[in-house]
Amino acid sequence: MLHRIEFLDLQAFVQVAELGSFHEAAQRLHLSQPALSRRIQKLEEALEVTLLERTTRRTWLTAIGTDFLPRARRMIDDYESSILGIRELATHQKGTLTIACLPTAAFYFLPSVIRRFNEAWPGIRIRILDVSANEGLERVVNGEADFGINMISPQLPEVSFTPLLRDPFVLALRSDHPLTAKETITWADLEAVKMITVSRDSGNRTLLDNVLSSEGIRLNGFYEVQHLSTSLGLVESGLGVAILPRLTMPGADHDTLCSRPLPEPRIERTIGLIQRNDHHLSSTAELFIETLLALWGDEVGPGHG
């Protein structure tokens, strides 16, 4: 079957999938629409699946087509890299690196690493997928990202986790909130205030809920948002307080927001590198990880946080 799949067939499928239109894809590929349709049909016959559904008004991916799209992109990238840039890739003059990273970690870790890496290998383009923990894990597993920077050790046998940083949860509140006057904040104090939480789909929420539940602590989750940045906005507006990873907090010189340590038990997340065990990293990805570990590898330790 594999020998029947041609590069141009894959290219045709990716263009139609990305543009959602046979007409636009045909124009971009300089093909007639019948010729483009034949290429898609040939690819589907070789794979023995239906990748696209089509009416006179629109085109959409089937479930199998959605799953195949990142694989097709990767096959095209591999082909182009192999044929067009062997020498440049071998010397790291050109190439692309894709990293799936938590937004907070992207802000904290990556700028200094990218700056140093770019100084050494200025021809390497870097694509950052700043996504949630679950989505970042999925991007690494399906091969869309070379590796990821994520939280906690994923419970997946095909993925390995290398810790980089322990990030404790803190209480985020306005600097004029009554709780800031207390020398020590207790869980009883927090049960009495309106709490701004993130969605239950969030890895941070899952971690926090598990610890609080095991200790029998119940907080007043009054507002729920999708993103940590939104919860900070509500805190800044005086609508409540939030329990957030310390990395999400602005600097100590912020005019309105501040943080306070949480009572025991200590709640923290570990952020680290994730990569597929069955996938050999490119030399470019290995160089980036070496640079990252050189800058951040000593951050995880018993006393950090």
pLDDT tens digits, residue range 262-288? 999 989 999 999 998 887 888 888 889
pLDDT tens digits, residue range 95-128? 789 999 998 888 877 888 999 999 988 888 899 9
The pLDDT of residue 304: 37
Average pLDDT over residues 26-48: 93
pLDDT tens digits, residue range 167-184? 999 999 999 999 999 989
Residue burial 202-232, b: 16+ Cβ < 10 Å; e: rest: bbbbebbbebbeeeeeebeeebebeebeebb
Checking if the pLDDT of 305 tops 90, the result is: no
Token output for 304:
């950090």
Q: Is 43 exposed, middle or buried (0-12, 13-18, 19+ CB in 10 A)?
A: buried
Q: Which helix (H) or strand (E) holds 133?
A: helix 133-141
- What is the residue-averaged pLDDT of the chain? 86
245 Rama sector, left if φ>0, alpha if ψ -120 to 50, beta otherwise? beta
pTM, 2 dp: 0.62
Checking if the pLDDT of 298 tops 80, the result is: no
Checking if the pLDDT of 2 tops 60, the result is: no
Q: Is 301 strand, coil or helix?
A: coil
Pairing of strands 195-198, 221-225: parallel
The pLDDT of residue 297: 66
